[in-house]
Amino acid sequence: MLYREAGQFKSSYAEDQRIFPIRQDRIAFWALMAVAFVLVPAFGNQYWLGAILTPFLILALATLGLNILTGYAGQLSLGTAAFMAIGAFMAYNFILRMPWLGVIPSFILAGLCAAAVGVVFGLPSLRIKGFYLAVATLACQFFVLWALQRFGWFTNYSSSGVITAQRMEIFGFAFDTPATKYVLTLSVVVVMALAAKNLMRSETGRAFMAVRDMDVAASVIGIPMMKTKLLAFAISSFYCGVAGALDAFCFLGTVEPERYSLDLSFRILFMLIIGGAGSILGSFLGAAFITLFPIFLNLVSGWISHTTGFEISHAVLSNLEAIIFGGLIIFFLIVEPHGFARLWQIAKEKLRLWPFPH
Amino acid sequence: MKRVALVSVLAVPLLAFAQAKEQFVPVNSYWVGPYAPGGSGISGGMIDYFKLLNARDGGINGVKITWEKCETEYRNDRGVECYERTKKKGPTGATLIHPMSTGITYSLIDKGTSDKIPIVSIGYGRADASDGRVFPYVFPLMTNYWSQNTAKIKFIAMQEGGMDKLKGKRIAHLYHDSAYGKETIPILDLQAKKYGFEVTHIAVPHPGNEQQAQWLQIRQVKPDWVILRGWGVMNPTALKAAAKVGFPRTKMLGVWWAGAEEDVIPAGEAAKGYITAGFNLSGANHVVVSEIQKHVYAKGQGEMEDKSRVGSIYYNRGVQWAIVTTEAVRKAQERFGKGRPVTGEQVRWALENLNIDEKRLKELGAVGFMQPLKLSCLDHEGGGAVKFQQWDGKQWKVISDWISSDQSIVRPMIEASAAQYAKEKGITPRDCSKEQ
């Protein structure tokens, strides 16, 4: 009913090529931005801002980074967390050693460091594919954590090998409350997500997808393999690096290298699979599901035992949470192997035809 | 609409009044994953002691203790989520936080300081936070890792026959590759230089169920002693691996996170003779534990499903943490108003002025259960002494008296490390002479 595009005509190429071709989508997008930028920081409490939304946005950004590499360019990677670690530790070092640089340039430089490492570990992708490439990126995961733990320089010779994020100030404005940190994270994530969306609609993005779908065919039609694959690694690692810097500075504050273990790499890969490979929106949906759903289950079980007075042992409850979560992942993968993004697309198409399905 | 507003205006003070006699303590712990034995045991002991106080004494001067459990999975992000979820609960917010993980402790230092909620890490956490001038809201109580380590070296020297006998000895340091595991590397290096022994640091990656390469290296080094800084599943694996390569367990010295029943029983025979440090003792025969049996378990309200774990190392450690928590609340009430819930800020003052002496321990039924604890603005550690215990195949046998740590080594390192932190973060250390 409301979701109709009848009467919306496109009279220029620019209008034809916009990200949201349907007016209702544009309105919904701007409304979402307004809510996220204005209402949420104004009315959200510290719990929601600091413990739910900020980590969700950061992980969504990391998933987006992996999505560029795996979802669009078809190169499987298990080194996501390692790139985040580089971002976090290098951002700390840039701010520590070059304080005049400022926060945002430090984050960008940290992202570039991650990109450089990404390119190096992306080199094997020129010769190997699929699972074998995943194993090669696994080496990156272990090597980076090993280096961060062994070389004291990265942690400024801290005895326990941790870094503590410095105070963030941009143009004299201090980002030190959960609300301001949330706004900073949100701004970075929105800008980078829009950039990714546009990049994927450009020639570069099409080259990525050609490589993903069939790299032999892609090289035959003249897409340079080395440049494209390494570019995918570089961009993806840059996104993950910035996500790592945000993770250290806007969320945790003090981090140890262990935070970016293989476990996190896998969780980000699951976010990608659940959300939908090759979709910007999917990165956000997947991150939301994997980070928020266990917390939601935890809260619900708390409410149930609180309101009904029916108390189950906490150990059982905690394990039950993991079981339900695992079950749901299997369920979604069977029902919709292309992830939430595909479900969303189907829902939108149905809505456009509603109430006449044919 | 008006009526709703009116009702809520009336209801708010009523609610506040109904809640006024409650002191909220978050119990953020872990009941799943590789570290669940520690998390469930400690939280169980803690909650049981709260239940004991509520049942026997009606709380602390009439203020009931309430709590809420939150699953952190030993993960930093979940730990932060739990902290944020529980910090505003209860009439005065969270009394204090036991983060129950060194990693989570690190993540909460900034948050707790700005929210004015003390971060109490008993027997773990950031060692240099013992300098209360730089870390006003962080309390690594009882004995921090560095102090414990000096006591361990003292113990080794006692076994070898004197501090001078350490010269030329070889010690292998097998550690969990995390912030927790690495915490003692600098102090071991320093002591090695001072006493002339050799130390080899060998890392075991998380979770530690694969240690073949590490024990191969230990065989090559041929150490006189192995210091085990393990956690969770890493400990029984190390003991079994030691048995396999024939390293005597009587020369293996564990940290207190490698010294519970759950660490040795899975290793079976291989654990016999293994020695660990401890800042609390096991056993259900302590007065305070038998009180819990009488007032809580006899009524079927105990927290532990497996009743045989009551009196185990982890369980008793939880009871000890609860004693420190409630004694701090009591102290805060003495100053800020008896029979009233206190805020995190007031508890911080109380912790700094806490003095649990032998007399108080006797009243609590905890003589010999834990060491006396006295804190100050300068010293956020207190106690500083360690006992050593040996596993005889069935139970832990205490084999030493309280061995004091060597503060002449530890304190300068703590102050230097805290000063570096203060410089990086731009913190001006407090002047302790102006505190009251």
Report the alpha-carbon distance of residue B290 to residue B297 in Å, rounded.
Answer: 10
Average pLDDT over residues A206-226: 93
Residue of B nearest to A313 (CA): B305
- Tell me the nearest-neighbour CA distance from B80 into chain A, angstroms: 6
Report yes or no: A149 at the B interface, CB cutoff 8 Å: yes
Nearest neighbour of A314 by CB, restricted to B69, B183, B421: B69
Dmax of chain B from CA atoms? Answer: 83
Digit-coded pLDDT (tens) for B282-295: 888 889 999 999 89
CATH number at residue B178: 3.40.50.2300
Strand ranges, E, within chain A: 163-164, 168-170, 173-175, 254-255
Model confidence at B436, pLDDT cuts 50, 70, 90, reads low
B276 SS3 class: strand
B428–A contact, CB cutoff 8 A: no
Whether residue B398 sits in one domain with residue B262: yes
Q: Are residues B161 and B72 in the same domain?
A: no
Rounded (5°) CA angle B273-B274-B276? 135
pLDDT value of position A191: 96
Give the separation between CA B302 and CA B52, rounded to whole angstroms: 9
Does residue B211 sit in the same domain as residue B341?
no
Q: Are both B47 and B90 inside the same structural domain? A: yes
Most confident of A196-200, B127-131, B154-158: A196-200
Pick the more confident residue, B346 or B305. B346
Q: Do B111 and A253 touch (CB under 8 A)?
A: yes
Record: contact A254-B127, CB cut-off 8 A? no
Per the CB < 8 Å rule, is B305 touching A315? yes
Calculate the dihedral angle through the C-alpha atoms of B79, B83, B84, B89, rounding to the nearest 10 degrees: 150
* B72 interfaces chain A, CB cutoff of 8 Å: no
C-alpha–C-alpha distance, residues A191 and A194, integer Å:
5
- In chain B, residues 157-196 whose CB comes closer than 8 Å to chain A: 177-180, 182-183, 185-186
Q: Does A51 touch chain B (CB under 8 A)?
A: yes
Tokens 């300081």 map to which residue? B113
The residue type found at B313 is: I
The beta-carbon neighbor of B179 closest among A50, A52, A162 is A162
Confidence tier at B7 by pLDDT (50, 70, 90):
very low
Say whether both B150 and B28 belong to one domain.
Answer: no
Q: What is the pLDDT of residues A245-261, one digit of tens each?
A: 999 999 988 888 888 98
Residue of A nearest to B74 (CA): A259
Which residues of chain B neighbour A256 with C-beta distances below 8 Å?
A: 76, 103, 106, 178-179
The pLDDT of residue B119 is above 70: yes
First to last CA, chain B: 49
Kindly determine whether residue B36 and residue A315, on different chains, have CB atoms separated by under 8 Å.
yes
Considering only CB atoms, A50 lies closest to which of B84, B305, B425, namely B84
- Give the pLDDT band (50/70/90) at residue A283: very high
The dihedrals phi and psi of A18, each to the nearest 5 degrees, come to: -70, 160
Q: What is the pLDDT of residue B20?
A: 65
- Split at pLDDT 50, 70, 90, the class of A44 is confident
Name every chain A residue with its beta carbon within 8 A of the beta carbon of B206. Answer: 258, 261
Which residues does residue A173 pair with via DSSP β-bridges, in sequence order?
A170
Check A259 against B76: CB less than 8 A apart.
yes
Do the Cβ atoms of B97 and B111 come closer than 8 Å? no
Do B30 and B100 touch, CB atoms closer than 8 A?
Answer: yes
Residue type present at position B159: Q
The tokens for B245 are 């390569």
Q: Chain A contact for B97, CB < 8 A?
A: no
- A159, B424: Cβ pair inside 8 Å? no
> Residue A345 is encoded by which pair of tokens?
């697309």
Torsion angle of alpha carbons B407, B431, B108, B21, nearest 10°?
110
B171, B257: one domain: yes
Q: Is B240 in the A-facing interface, judged by CB distances under 8 Å?
A: no
Structural tokens at position A192:
């980078």
Contact B81 A255 (CB under 8 A): no
DSSP output for A92-106: HHHHHH-GGG-HHHH
Average confidence score pLDDT of chain B: 86
Q: CA A196, CA B355: separation in Å to the nearest integer?
A: 59
List chain B residues with CB under 8 Å of A166.
Answer: 424-426
B36 touches chain A (CB under 8 A): yes
Alpha-carbon span B351 to B349, nearest angstrom? 6
Q: Is B70 on the interface with A (CB under 8 A)?
A: yes
**Ramachandran category for residue B142: left, alpha or beta (phi over 0 → left; psi -120 to 50 → alpha):** left
A314 contact residues in B (CB cutoff 8 A)? 31, 69, 71
- Condensed to tens digits (0 to 9), the pLDDT of residues B243-276 reads 988 899 999 999 888 888 888 988 888 888 999 9
Task: Classify B203 as helix, strand or coil.
Answer: strand
What are A84-125's pLDDT values in tens digits? 999 999 999 999 898 888 899 999 999 999 999 999 999 988
**Contact residues, chain A, for B80 at CB < 8 Å:** 50-51, 55, 251-252
**In order of start, what are the domains of chain A with their CATH numbers?**
47-353 (1.10.3470)
The reported pLDDT for the residue numbered B52 is 92
Residue with tokens 């390119």: A119
SS3 A264: helix
Facing residue for A160 by CB, picked from B31, B76, B182: B182
Dig out the tokens for B139 from the structure: 């309390």
Residue B5 lies in a domain: no
Q: Determine whether the interchain pair A51/B109 forms a contact, defined as Cβ–Cβ distance below 8 Å.
A: no
pLDDT band of A1, cuts 50, 70, 90: low
Confidence bin at B11 (pLDDT 50/70/90)? very low
Q: Does A25 touch chain B (CB under 8 A)?
A: no
3-state secondary structure of B171: strand
Distance of CA A171 to the CA centre of its chain: 27
- Report the candidate in B3, B23, B13, B5 with the shortest Cα–Cα distance to residue B339: B23
Tell me: do B207 and B265 sit in the same domain.
yes
pLDDT of residue A332: 80
Average pLDDT over residues B142-151: 87
The bridge status of strand B403-404 relative to strand B385-391 is antiparallel
How many domains does one find in chain B?
Answer: 2
The string of pLDDT tens digits covering residues A52-83 is 899 999 999 999 999 999 999 999 999 999 99
pLDDT reading at A182 higher than 80:
yes
How confident is the model over B16-49, as pLDDT tens digits?
444 568 899 999 999 888 788 888 899 999 999 9
B316 in a structural domain: yes
| H-assigned helices in A67-99 | 80-97
- For residue B235, the enclosing domain spans 146-281+388-409
Inter-chain touch B424–A319, beta carbons under 8 Å: no
* Residue A272 near residue A67, CB atoms below 8 Å: yes
pLDDT class of B5 with cuts at 50, 70, 90: very low
With a cut of 80, say whether residue B62 has pLDDT above it: yes
Are B82 and B106 in a shared domain? yes
B77 and A251 within 8 Å at the Cβ level: the answer is yes
Q: Is residue B13 pLDDT above 70, yes or no?
A: no
Using DSSP, how many helices (H) and how many strands (E) does chain A show?
16, 4
What confidence score (pLDDT) does residue B101 get? 87
- Asked whether residue B84 is domain-assigned, the answer is yes
Asked whether the beta carbons of residue A258 and residue B206 sit closer than 8 angstroms, the reply is: yes
Choose the mutation target among B178, B204, B206, B306 for the interface with A, i.e. most A CBs under 10 Å. B178
Token digits of residue B422? 């203060």
Give the gap in angstroms from C-alpha A343 to the nearest C-alpha of chain B.
Answer: 29
Concatenated DSSP letters of B297-360: GGGT--S-SSGGGTTSHHHHHHHHHHHHHHHHHHHHHHHH-TTS---HHHHHHHHHT-EE-HHH
pLDDT tens by residue, B363-393? 888 888 888 888 888 888 887 788 899 998 8
Tell me the pLDDT band of B186, cut-offs 50, 70 and 90.
Answer: confident
Helices (H), B2-101: 2-19, 36-52, 76-86
Of B31, B417, B425, the CB nearest to A318: B31
Nearest to A58 by CA among A153, A186, A149, A156: A186
Name B388's bridge partners: B277
Looking at every residue in chain A, the average pLDDT score rounds to 88
Sign (positive or negative) of CA dihedral B12, B14, B20, B22:
negative
Do B260 and B395 fall within a single domain? yes
For residue B363, give how far its alpha carbon lies from the nearest alpha carbon of chain A (Å): 32
What is the structure's pLDDT at A339? 87
Q: Decide if A47 and B185 are in contact by the 8 Å CB cutoff.
A: no
My answer on whether B345 and B261 are in the same domain is no
Of A51, A161, A321, the CB nearest to B182: A161
d(CA A85, CA A67): 18
Interface of B with A in 103-162 (CB under 8 A): 103, 106-107, 109-111, 114, 126-128
Evaluate whether residue B356 is within a structural domain.
yes
From B81, B177, B424, residue closest to A149, measured CB to CB = B177
**Helices A262-275 and A314-335: crossing angle, nearest 10°?**
50
B109 contacts A253? CB cut-off 8 A: yes
Token pair of A218 as six digits: 């892609």
Over residues A231-239, the mean pLDDT reads 96
Average pLDDT over residues A233-238: 96
**Which residue from A95, A93, A82 is spatially nearest to A136, judged by alpha carbons?**
A82
Helix (H) / strand (E) containing A266:
helix A262-275
Q: Are residues B323 and B366 in the same domain?
A: yes
B423 vs A: CB within 8 A? no
| Among chain A residues, CA nearest to B82 | A51
The predicted-structure confidence for A154-170, as pLDDT tens digits, reads as follows 988 877 778 888 888 88
At A172 the three-state DSSP class reads: coil
Q: Is B31 on the interface with A (CB under 8 A)?
A: yes
B84 and A CB contact within 8 Å? yes
B21 C-beta neighbours (distance < 10 Å), count: 17
How many whole angstroms separate alpha carbon A232 and alpha carbon A123? 11
pLDDT of residue A58: 95
The answer on B170 and B155 residing in a single domain is yes
* Residue B94 with chain A: CB contacts under 8 Å: none
Strand blocks (E) in A151-278:
163-164, 168-170, 173-175, 254-255
